[in-house]
Amino acid sequence: MPSRFHGRWLVVGLYVLIVSFAGFVGVLLGLYGPEDLRPVELFGLIELQPTPIGLAIFGMATIGLFLGVLLFLVMFVSERYDDADPKG
């Protein structure tokens, strides 16, 4: 049980690291990217200007949602089917 708990925290930590990195790259693109960037739409609902904050929000939200859904599915399947006896 402790190794399983430790593994879950490792995966969540990697998730936070990747989402934070996406925000950092968004800030860099907003600061040093091309001048003629067009506004981006977050999930087709919110228009974000290509500023460092706007691009950081866009990157963190899109990567966070995509990886979050995958992480949720992996955790759901591992909780539901992990205790199955492999010998049948």
pLDDT category of residue 36 using cuts at 50, 70 and 90:
confident
Number of domains in the chain: 1
With respect to residue 26, please indicate whether it lies within any of the assigned structural domains.
Answer: yes
With respect to residue 4, please indicate whether it lies within any of the assigned structural domains.
Answer: no
pTM score: 0.77
* pLDDT of 10 higher than 90: no
With respect to residue 7, please indicate whether it lies within any of the assigned structural domains.
Answer: no
| DSSP line for the chain | -HHHHHHHHHHHHHHHHHHHHHHHHHHHHHHHS-TTPPPEEETTTEEE-SSHHHHHHHHHHHHHHHHHHHHHHHHHHHHHHTT--TT-
pLDDT category of residue 31 using cuts at 50, 70 and 90:
very high
CB 53 within 8 A of CB 30: yes
With respect to residue 20, please indicate whether it lies within any of the assigned structural domains.
Answer: yes
With respect to residue 1, please indicate whether it lies within any of the assigned structural domains.
Answer: no
- State both tokens at 22: 């996406």
pLDDT category of residue 37 using cuts at 50, 70 and 90:
confident
Read off the amino acid at residue 6. Answer: H
Full domain range(s) for residue 60: 14-79
* pLDDT of 88 higher than 70: no
With respect to residue 23, please indicate whether it lies within any of the assigned structural domains.
Answer: yes
With respect to residue 3, please indicate whether it lies within any of the assigned structural domains.
Answer: no
With respect to residue 69, please indicate whether it lies within any of the assigned structural domains.
Answer: yes
